Structure 1
């Protein structure tokens, strides 16, 4: 049996969608399972024994109709029995159309349902989540295959090899990181401004983490975000700054994963870093943007290992009844009202659990 899973989006989305492969391989151990994603996301799939190969649809191919149609027929030649399209956009609609798969599975959309013979309706936003709707909705895509319940594994996983772990340990030693003290990763900046907790507030969060604690702090940021990262560092107190190892960064996504694997827990903005930390079974404290649906991405929330905060937890009247677009239009003013003092007790509880 040959299976293709398609998830063309961000790192967190790809990592979460990998649970489909994990469950499918449990049900069909002799199957060949391929995963299609963007090139910048493939590193979160490396080492996963449930994925036989990663297929990249290059940007150059996507922008050329002759190349794109050639790609469609290359997929068709692989003769997949099952195709699960988590993305459900035009290009993947067309990939599905040309695939020839017996099972063509995606989420129900009135304008694309003809491309699939198994259309799954997502949970309604107000429905309670078991693992977080980002997980729950993906598991729904497996319903039409009638998998054995004991084969379903809802937990995304990352796999770090021995060399990657040793390289991270060596990097820590070179920066004089002590293995006798707790190490916290700060998810410093979101993937976009509307998903980034204000710098002044983030500095207060970091100060609270460092206050009266013998702790070592790492920052997660991209090289092109270094100036904003420096600004947040300068907003922290001098005593906090002394606990921050600002220059300890991974050279790529795989090295970040290995670094995160050596950390004890993560705190900060919702995004790929949080999802990767959870996939490494690291405790997480997540600060959600007001425009992100917490019911979607507060995965495996249990009040101990994984805790999150959202403006709606404290001032729901500020966003009740507003559309996502309306919330994003006033995101700065909403963030201003999301003062870290609101969740100081919750953060203290988390730190006390994991220090």
Structure 2
């Protein structure tokens, strides 16, 4: 069985949607799973045991309809048995339709009838899953193919032994005490409306450290360094 999973971006979403691939491998152990992602997210999923092949695209390309049409021709040749569109935007919907995969699953939207054979209402039942809306929503996309959804699945980054060694060395060189708790924090959202006021975020972090005694690693993209430093200094 040949399966295509689409989660074009963002970085967190690319990682989060790997739980769909995990479920697919549970349901179809011998399936080959291709994962279409934005190119700079490959390190997050490069060694994932449930993913057999990465199809990497750039933002500038994926936003062009000419590229979508060209890519769809290549995907059509692979004759996918199943496609799951976790991204659920116009371009991925068009790509899903043009791929001619036998079964195409996506979220229920205005374009669903054209794009997918199975449209799922994005309304996860909080009494069933315990891992949060983002994860529950993705697992809903597997309900058309199985009655045994593993709602407990969580995303995980798989590192090579060399990466683990290098990471440990970097932490030690940066003054991190590995005998004490360590927490990575995404201090800024992907946009201003997804970000707490800096002074409020600083108070949250201060309280967290007081309660847990944890050391903190700030996680942010390079263009957010100035804002991250403002929170750090607060």
TM bracket, shorter-chain basis:
0.7 to 0.9
Distance in 1, matches of 2:55 and 2:128, equals 31
**CA contact under 8 A between 1:27 and 1:151: conserved in structure 2?**
no
Deviation at 1:211, TM superposition (A): 4.5
Moved more, 38-47 or 21-30: 38-47
The aligned runs of 1:216-235 (5 Å cut-off) are 216-235=215-234
Deviation at 1:123, TM superposition (A): 1.7
The aligned runs of 1:129-148 (5 Å cut-off) are 130-131=129-130, 132-146=132-146
The residue aligned with 2:115 is 115
**CA contact under 8 A between 2:69 and 2:98: conserved in structure 1?**
no
CA-based RMSD of the aligned residues comes to 2.6
Q: Which structure has the greater CA radius of gyration?
A: 1
Deviation at 1:200, TM superposition (A): 1.6
Moved more, 184-193 or 29-38: 184-193
Deviation at 1:166, TM superposition (A): 0.7
The residue aligned with 2:18 is 18
Deviation at 1:223, TM superposition (A): 3.0
Distance in 1, matches of 2:189 and 2:228, equals 12
Deviation at 1:64, TM superposition (A): 4.5
Distance in 2, matches of 1:63 and 1:151, equals 33
**CA contact under 8 A between 1:122 and 1:137: conserved in structure 2?**
yes
The residue aligned with 1:202 is 201
The residue aligned with 2:165 is 166
**CA contact under 8 A between 2:48 and 2:157: conserved in structure 1?**
yes
The aligned runs of 1:146-295 (5 Å cut-off) are 146=146, 149=148, 154-211=153-210, 215-235=214-234
Distance 1:22 1:174, change over 3 A: same
Distance 1:188 1:8, change over 3 A: same
**CA contact under 8 A between 2:27 and 2:146: conserved in structure 1?**
no
Deviation at 1:84, TM superposition (A): 1.0
TM-score normalised by the chain length of structure 2: 0.86
Distance in 2, matches of 1:30 and 1:231, equals 49
Distance in 2, matches of 1:93 and 1:212, equals 45
The residue aligned with 1:247 is none
Equivalences, count: 233
The aligned runs of 1:341-352 (5 Å cut-off) are none
The residue aligned with 2:52 is 52
Deviation at 1:164, TM superposition (A): 1.1
Structure 2 unaligned residues grouped into runs of 5+: none
The residue aligned with 2:74 is 74
Distance in 1, matches of 2:212 and 2:20, equals 40
Distance in 1, matches of 2:110 and 2:198, equals 42
Distance 1:78 1:224, change over 3 A: same
Deviation at 1:127, TM superposition (A): 6.2
Deviation at 1:128, TM superposition (A): 4.9
- Report SS of the residue matched to 1:87: coil
- Report SS of the residue matched to 1:55: strand
The residue aligned with 1:104 is 104
